[in-house]
Amino acid sequence: MDDSAFAPRRANRIEAPVTPEIERVLQRYLDIQVQEQKLRKEKADLQQALAQYLEQAPDGVWAPVVAGTPVKVRYARETVVEYDEPVLRERLGERYVHVVRPDPRKIRSHLAELEPLLAPALARIGTPDRDRVRAAVERGLVRTEEFAGAFRKQTRTRLAVMRAQPSGAESPPDDDGDMER
């Protein structure tokens, strides 16, 4: 099989031997991922069974004792409404702005074009950005001494293990991505 189908996207390929110990570690990791997936499915099924059991109960907290262990179960129903945004945008025209509120995901996806509009509020809603700090120092807008004691530098290691899929497709990585040192 052609290894290029399993090459990582946007990353340098690491050349490291697979020792027997590392092979055992990776195999165990993959086994745990399969177990996690099965446990998540079982947990969802159990939550559904509990929700069905409590469907006639009012929203609140249930505190049963199970095999001598006090358990706390929060139960609440929530109505979720999903709107057909393109249809509403067309139907309401200029009035559409009266029925919407900022959506963080949409803001994030359009941030580059929104940034000039947000500039007046950046002191309240902004966070220092490493590249911008560096650029401001280089342009003489701020001095490095002004940052002394005002930041903490950490090295974070990101690690994701997934089963490689042919044709550039990857299975989603597990959620254990960040490790602080």
115 inside domain: no
Q: What is the extent of the structural domain holding 142?
A: 127-181
151 inside domain: yes
Q: Taking residues 20-48, what's their average pLDDT? A: 97
152 inside domain: yes
Q: Taking residues 80-94, what's their average pLDDT? A: 95
93 inside domain: no
In this structure, are residues 7 and 166 in contact, taking their beta carbons and an 8 Å threshold?
Answer: no
Say how many domains are in the chain: 1
166 inside domain: yes
Q: Taking residues 35-52, what's their average pLDDT? A: 96
pTM over 0.75: no
Q: What confidence tier does 114 reach under pLDDT thresholds 50, 70, 90?
A: very high
* Calpha distance 18→9 (Å, rounded): 21
In this structure, are residues 160 and 173 in contact, taking their beta carbons and an 8 Å threshold?
Answer: yes
34 inside domain: no
Residue 11 has pLDDT above 80, yes or no: no
C-alpha distances out from residue 126 to 115, 118, 120, 132, Å = 10, 9, 10, 12
What does the chain come to in residues? 181
Listed range (28-42, 88-102, 106-120, 164-178) with the worst mean pLDDT: 164-178
pLDDT of residue 39: 98
170 inside domain: yes
